[in-house]
Structures are given as C-alpha cells and as structure tokens.
C-alpha cells in the first residue's frame, strides 16, 4: 500500500475533488491537502476506511500542534 499527498498554492474545492475521485481519496477538512491511497494489494474497504480516518486525525493533530506565533527575545 502506498500513500501520497499533495498540496498546491491554488486549492481546488473539496466537493469537486471528491466528486470526481474514488474511495481512495482523502481531502482534509480545510481542503488544503489531498491524500491518495494507492491500494495495489487490494486491502479491504473497511481497512482503507480506517486508514482514511487515521490520516485525517493525524493531520488535525499536526495542524493543532504547529505554533506560528513565537516570541523573539532580543
């Protein structure tokens, strides 16, 4: 199984991406990242669904842990 992800400066609306793709596509809630699951070994759909949930949870956790307002003491 291979997992890929991509992002772009111009984001395509989440609805458009999911309409034209199959069940192996995961789009983050904010629509900024699209993950594609390459299921060449025919993992059952139930396991793919679990993986999709884990990907979204991990992405959310990473986004929440990034702090961009650091104070610089000079």
By CB neighbour count within 10 A (0-12 exposed, 13-18 middle, 19+ buried), where does 27 fall? buried
- pLDDT tens digit sequence for 15-65: 655 554 568 888 888 888 888 888 888 889 999 999 999 999 999 998 888
> Is 15 domain-assigned?
yes
Number of domains observed in the structure of the chain: 1
Length of the chain, in residues: 74
> Is 39 domain-assigned?
yes
> Is 71 domain-assigned?
no
> Is 56 domain-assigned?
yes
> Is 73 domain-assigned?
no
pLDDT at 25: 87
> Does pTM surpass 0.85?
no
> Is 29 domain-assigned?
yes
Indicate if the alpha-carbon torsion angle 41, 44, 49, 55 is positive or negative.
Answer: negative
> Is 55 domain-assigned?
yes
Domain encompassing residue 36: 2-65
pLDDT at 20: 47
> Is 33 domain-assigned?
yes
Greater confidence (1 vs 67) lies with: 67
Name the helix (H) or strand (E) containing 19.
helix 14-20
């Amino acid at each position: 199984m291979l997992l890929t992800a991509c992002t772009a400066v111009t984001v395509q609306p989440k609805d458009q991406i999911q309409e034209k793709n199959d069940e192996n596509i995961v789009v983050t809630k904010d629509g900024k990242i699209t993950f594609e699951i390459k299921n060449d070994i025919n993992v059952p759909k139930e396991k793919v669904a679990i993986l999709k949930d884990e990907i979204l949870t991990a992405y959310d956790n990473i986004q929440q842990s990034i702090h961009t307002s650091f104070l610089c003491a000079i």
